[in-house]
A and B are shown apart, each in its own frame.
Chain A
Amino acid sequence: MTLDLFIAGFGGQGVLLLGNLLAYAAILEGKNASYFPAYGVEKRGGAATCTVVISDDEVASPVVGRPGCAILLNQASLDKYLPRVRPGGWALVNSSLAEENLPRVAPIEVLALPLTELALDVGDARLVNLVAAGIWARKSQALTLASLESALRKVLPERNHRFIPLNVEALKRGAALIAS
């Protein structure tokens, strides 16, 4: 099985950390994964995107034209990338910062949730990426929360390990939304 995921938002929302985390967790589970960050002249507040492919087989292209899933964290990303999701796929949209106001092109499922508000409720707006990770992991059933928690230790620098409990709480909050 192969899952591909495109993540977009603005710099500072943890888009690249989210992609890195999901791919790392997949590696820890013995799967193959590629994490391809859009590497541009970006800055805080600018556009940030990355592509993650997780597979039981060899990952062919780390570059994906029409992903099966997209996590879109702001309005600009929603407008630009929602039409790219391939028919039959799904998108997680941060309804705190984005509203779908264009006609839907392909038959896809859109899960709109107030991710920033949920993150604030857990403790910090910057947890928006971890809330999204929890939702994606549970809905796609591709990764366990335990491997995501282990991956946090790998992708966060040592100095930030004190924030791991809060990040885990955000993960669980996201996952619980799907369970219920």
Chain B
Amino acid sequence: MDQRLFVKGNEAVAMGALAAGCRYYFGYPITPQSDIPEFTARELPRLGGTFIQAESEIAAINMLLGASACGMRAMTSSSSPGISLKQEGLSYMAGSELPGLVVNICRSGPGLGGIDASQADYFQAVKGGGHGGYRLIVLAPHSVQEMYDLALLAFDLSDRYRIPAMLLGDSVIGQMKEALIPHPRAQVELPPKDWAVRGKQEGAPQRVVKSLYLGDGELEAHNWRLHERYALLEARETRWEGLHTDDAELLVTAFGITARIAKSAVRMAREAGFKVGLLRPVSLFPFPREAFRTVTLVTKKVLCCELNTGQMVEDVRLSVARDAEVYFYGRPPGAGSLPTPEEFAEQIARYCGGAA
């Protein structure tokens, strides 16, 4: 039998990153993700890697930019207010076409907010939180195992497309413990990092990593190139999980921890006789638009559940078949506002038209 560990989500994401070959961690502590720097501080030196507790979140994201520019697999992690500080660096990484992993174990806001689970950073993550109209690869783990698995996937996708990747978690996924079966990195063929800077080498062509394009037409061409790569991601790399979608009259959709709560709610509703299914986006960018369109060609009612006042629901509305109705149920994050399966089940019953 495979080795089965029992670990926190935060530990799992750090383990996944190390299994992916990440040997550089830069970060600044913040609740509820400090288990990630704690783990990498302990384990990276043993692997010959480097852990740096930076002087600030801004310093950490720029260290990540530097390590990535040298062709190394590297990461940073933080929680919502700290991720806000990293937006400038993320925009520069996106403009410089640099891969890398950023983990956001979201807490509630705005401002300093609180330390409870939140999904209110969805817009910031998927719409380009910094300036300049870029995108990140955004993956949303909903279990401890996925924290590990998606860390591995994020590095591969990020290297392949030269787009920074973000794992969008929350304080429940980060703090809860579940079984984890660790596994080695899959051997996938990735393009060589023939753009990585390597210092002065006589005779070799100069390599430049930059996001500044001043020549006539240069920046437009650069942006079109980025745009085409985002389109390629949308065509090739959407990921989602479907449950009972074949005969569903109502489709529930949710991501991350909310999807776990929704899975229980769907189970309860099925037992009560409601024909309800679940579509869980795993990749938030690229968003699984085609999956939503296909399912809603048949299932005409969609209930989007989030731990915020309505963000992913906008992408759901843009994706569904034209005659599908989209409803929303969410609560702003904060102490005591985590919804329960019973609460979602009530909403399901409401939109399924009362009694089964």
Supposing A39-B32, A154-B6 touch, asked if A63 and B340 sit within 8 A by C-beta, the answer is yes
Interface status of A40 (Cβ within 8 A of chain B): yes
Chain B min CB distance to A36 (Å): 4
Interface status of A61 (Cβ within 8 A of chain B): yes
**Contacting residues of chain A (58-78) with chain B, CB-CB under 8 angstroms:** 59-66
**Contacting residues of chain A (31-79) with chain B, CB-CB under 8 angstroms:** 32-37, 39-41, 59-66
Interface status of A90 (Cβ within 8 A of chain B): no
Contact between B178 and A34, CB atoms less than 8 A apart: yes
Contact between B4 and A27, CB atoms less than 8 A apart: yes
Supposing A33-B179, A35-B177, A37-B175 touch, asked if A64 and B115 sit within 8 A by C-beta, the answer is no
Q: How far is the CA of A37 from the CA of B172 in the complex (A)?
A: 8
Tell me which of B6, B171, B260, B342 contacts A62 (CB under 8 A). B260
Interface status of A131 (Cβ within 8 A of chain B): no
Interface status of A23 (Cβ within 8 A of chain B): yes
Chain A min CB distance to B80 (Å): 15
| Interface-side segment among B19-27, B41-49, B204-212, B261-269 | B261-269
- CB-CB contacts of B2-18 with A at 8 A, as 1s and 0s? 00101000000000000
Contact between A24 and B6, CB atoms less than 8 A apart: yes
Contact between A60 and B115, CB atoms less than 8 A apart: no
Q: Nearest chain-B residue to A32 (Cβ)? A: B179
Chain B min CB distance to A50 (Å): 9
Number of residues of chain B lying within 8 A (CB) of chain A? 27
Contact between A63 and B338, CB atoms less than 8 A apart: yes
Contact between B115 and A34, CB atoms less than 8 A apart: no
Q: How far is the CA of A35 from the CA of B335 in the complex (A)?
A: 19
Tell me which of A32, A41, A62, A154 contacts B172 (CB under 8 A). A62
Contact between B341 and A60, CB atoms less than 8 A apart: yes
Q: Which residues of B contact A39 (CB under 8 A)?
A: 32, 115-116, 171, 175
Supposing A35-B176, A36-B172 touch, asked if A65 and B340 sit within 8 A by C-beta, the answer is yes
Q: How far is the CA of A39 from the CA of B32 in the complex (A)?
A: 8
Q: List 28 A-B contacts (CB under 8 A).
A: A23-B6, A24-B6, A27-B6, A27-B179, A33-B6, A33-B178, A34-B177, A34-B178, A35-B177, A36-B176, A39-B32, A39-B171, A39-B175, A40-B116, A60-B260, A60-B263, A60-B341, A61-B263, A61-B264, A61-B265, A62-B176, A62-B257, A63-B260, A63-B340, A63-B341, A64-B340, A65-B340, A66-B340
Q: Residues on B close to A: CB < 8 A?
A: 4, 6, 32, 115-116, 171-172, 175-179, 257, 260-265, 267, 335, 338-343
| Contacts A20-B177, A27-B179, A41-B115 supplied; 10 other A-B pairs, CB < 8 Å | A27-B4, A27-B6, A32-B179, A35-B6, A35-B177, A36-B176, A40-B115, A60-B267, A61-B263, A62-B257
